[in-house]
Amino acid sequence: MSSSSDFQQDRHSFSGSPQKWTDFELPGDTLYYRFTSDMSNTEWGYKFTVTAGHLGRFQTGFEILKQMLSEERVIPHLPLAKIWEWQVGVACRQTGHQRLKAIHLLLKIVQCSSQGDCDLTLLKPLWQLFTHMENNSCQDTAKPAILLPLHRALAELFFVTENRVAELGSLQEYLLALNTEDHLHRCTAQ
């Protein structure tokens, strides 16, 4: 298998049992393959699966989705609820710059969505992370109040989301869904 018809670029050769085959990645949008039998037995051949794109290509997906969310004429045709659900999961699982980029996309989705497009209660794990960061920054008065990029990104996400929910008239339901019963009891006691 190769990315060029002359089998000179990105060449991968396999022979023998399927256990000897390994996953690999080829650049570009075309795969060339050649199957040659040595007629040593009467098996039917080999089967392989080709998947476009690579699940680990976060930057590519981010750029495509960011561009799509920037095009007003494209937004009505996007399955925003599914993209939202997927993107919240990405923001919860990723770390570092990838988490920041996922939060950036969540922010864009909140800004361009209409009522009912996104289940905002899915933000609960990120809300818990944010409130944990808030509590830690309030308790540590010895250090200057410099917010980490993740803290700033989450603050902006929840500020914009809260304003958006208030515009749509469902702020109380949103806040109740994000907070735990224990947190609500503590707030009431205060």
- pLDDT above 90 as % of the chain: 30
Q: Specify the higher pLDDT residue, 54 or 160.
A: 160
The fraction of the chain above a pLDDT of 70, given in percent, is 87
Task: Report which of residues 52 and 125 the model is more confident about.
Answer: 125
Query: What is the per-residue pLDDT for 27?
Result: 74
Distance set, CA 115 to CA 8, 80, 118, 174 (Å): 54, 11, 8, 12
The pLDDT of residue 144 is 57
pLDDT tens digits for range 109-135? 998 887 667 888 899 999 999 988 888
Q: Which residue has the higher pLDDT, 113 or 44?
A: 113
Residue 155 has pLDDT above 90, yes or no: yes
Model confidence at 55: pLDDT above 70: no
- N-terminal to C-terminal alpha carbon distance within the chain: 67
Nearest-10 Cα torsion for 137, 143, 144, 147? -40
Q: Please give the pLDDT value at position 132.
A: 87
pTM assigned to the model: 0.65
Given a contact cutoff of 8 angstroms between Cβ atoms, the answer to whether 36 and 66 are in contact is no
Q: What is the pLDDT of residue 151?
A: 92
pLDDT for the residue 146: 65
Residue 88 in this model has a pLDDT that exceeds 90:
yes
* Cα torsion angle, 129, 132, 137, 142, sign: negative
Q: Model confidence at 70, in pLDDT bands (50, 70, 90)?
A: very high
Q: Is the separation of the CB atoms in 138 and 101 below 8 Å?
A: no
